Amino acid sequence: MNQIDHYRAGYIAIIGEPNVGKSTLMNCILDQKISAVTAKPQTTRHRIVGIRSNEHSQMIFLDTPGLVKPRYRLHEAMMKTAHSALTDADIILCILDVGNQYIVKDFDNHPAIPILLTSSKIKFLLLNKNDRSDDKRTAFLISAFTKKKIFHEIIPTSGLHAIGIDNLLVRINTYLPEHPPYYPLDIVSEHPERFFVSELIREKIFEQFEEEIPYSTTVEIIDFKEKAGRKDVISAEIYVERDSQKGILIGRQGTALKKLGEGARREIEDFLQRPVFLELHIKVRKKWRDNPRMLKQLGYTS
């Protein structure tokens, strides 16, 4: 019998509000960090593709931006990205944070409700960060959401502590359609290395800076040269919207930018598994979040 006979493969979209643990969950499922993770909401801006394959099945996870009410064209592009993932998906994973005291009461106003009520796709509810809950509360939540009759499966999980992940994968596999693998079995994502490098730099910006700074910045890789036997040379430009933001990123006598570069370089080397020389340059691009040309150049729109 051909190895591909009765093979299962499909797309699984991960949706939810900002900061519910979507990226942490996907990194846990893949046992590899490919989505940027910080304590701040709206870290994810692109659709991140993560692929988990074995000899029997291939699960293609689509980590999407957190569902928000758009304030900029960037947000509109992010929401379009999230909705397009739902169109492509065979299975939808809706993630809720069990730490939300009003998780059941608030759900009727959840931004995913219109999608969940009208979609014919297989729908999972993940009660995430369940390490913060107890058995009594978990049982109550499962009962309450079962009564809503929206989801095919309700599973307590914790991406941070790998709780419920094995069970989740088993249940996903039962719903995957029979289909040959979409990707080679030995890859974990379709994105090029330079994409992940830009995401790692942006992650460090989110971790190091406060208030509006992280949300006003984006990163573009200008040059990426691999050199056999020598360090790769990576040149990146960080775009901000105002001169004052540029000053904050650079810091007094360049100390903030130096710290950012050192932290990002370590993360990049860990990801690439080879040494790199990283150059960071700060440039002002006024109102880039509302500039259609810039959004297209940066890959947020097509």
pLDDT class for 40, splitting at 50, 70, 90? low
pLDDT class for 3, splitting at 50, 70, 90? low
pLDDT score, position 221: 96
pLDDT, mean over the chain: 90
What is the rounded CA–CA span in Å between residue 296 and residue 302? 6
What SS3 class is residue 238?
A: strand
Q: Answer yes or no: is pLDDT of 4 > 70.
A: no
Q: Answer yes or no: is pLDDT of 152 > 80.
A: yes
What SS3 class is residue 149?
A: coil
Alpha helices in 99-219 (DSSP H): 113-118, 135-146, 165-175, 193-208
What number is the average pLDDT over the span 117-143? 93
- What secondary structure, in 3-state letters, does 67-123 show? CCCCCCHHHHHHHHHHHHHHHHCCEEEEEEECCCCCCCHHHHHCCCHHHHHHCCCEE
Angle at 131 between CA 125 and CA 175, to 5 degrees: 30
Q: Answer yes or no: is pLDDT of 39 > 80.
A: no
Q: Answer yes or no: is pLDDT of 156 > 50.
A: yes
pLDDT (tens digit per residue) in 177-203: 999 999 999 999 988 899 999 999 999
Contact between 211 and 255 under an 8 Å Cβ cutoff? The reply is no
Q: Answer yes or no: is pLDDT of 5 > 80.
A: no
One-letter amino acid at 104 equals V
What number is the average pLDDT over the span 111-127? 90
pLDDT score, position 264: 96
Q: Answer yes or no: is pLDDT of 172 > 50.
A: yes
pLDDT score, position 77: 82
Q: Answer yes or no: is pLDDT of 41 > 70.
A: no
Q: In the numeric block, which tokens belong to residue 244?
A: 């004052």
Q: Where are the domains of the chain?
A: 8-175, 193-297
Do 8-175 and 193-297 come out as alike in CATH topology? no
What number is the average pLDDT over the span 159-173? 95
pLDDT score, position 1: 39
Superfamily of domain 8-175: P-loop containing nucleotide triphosphate hydrolases (3.40.50.300)
Give the helix, strand, coil percentages of the chain, each rounded to 5: 40, 25, 40
Q: Answer yes or no: is pLDDT of 167 > 90.
A: yes
What is the rounded CA–CA span in Å between residue 294 and residue 90? 32
pTM above 0.95, yes or no: no
The yes or no reply on domain 193-297 and CATH 3.30.300.20 is yes
pLDDT score, position 175: 97
Contact between 175 and 169 under an 8 Å Cβ cutoff? The reply is no
pLDDT score, position 169: 97
Q: Which percentage of the chain shows pLDDT scores above 90?
A: 61
103-107, 164-168, 171-175: least confidently modelled range: 103-107
pLDDT (tens digit per residue) in 69-103: 778 888 888 788 877 778 889 999 999 999 888 88
